[in-house]
Amino acid sequence: MESREARVGTQVRLLDGGKRNGKRRVGTVERTYGHPDYLAMEVRFVDGGTELYWHHELAKVEGNASS
């Protein structure tokens, strides 16, 4: 995901499957931090957990998040 694409409410998924697996990899951006060219994002996942990630660790979910 490009840093400037990050918006609160955007559905995202983790690119590194080793950190989380299955549907637990899909979440919603809750907050952004830092410079617009290099953002960190607080993501709330389907399982209720929140974690902080750099923009390049995430991909924007297109269409249905459950696929």
Domains of the chain: 3-60 (2.30.30.30)
Pair 27, 10: CB distance under 8 Å: no
**Amino acid identity, residue 63?**
G
Q: Calculate mean pLDDT across residues 46-59.
A: 90
Rg of the chain over CA atoms, in angstroms? 11
Q: If we measure between CA atoms, which residue out of 26, 50, 31 comes closest to residue 41?
A: 31
15-49: per-residue pLDDT in tens? Answer: 886 666 655 788 999 999 999 889 999 999 888 88
Write down the residue that tokens 């209720």 correspond to: 48
> What is the pLDDT, as a whole number, of residue 10?
94
Q: How confident is the model at residue 8 (pLDDT cuts 50, 70, 90)?
A: very high
**Other beta carbons within 10 Å of 50:** 12
- Read off the pTM: 0.80
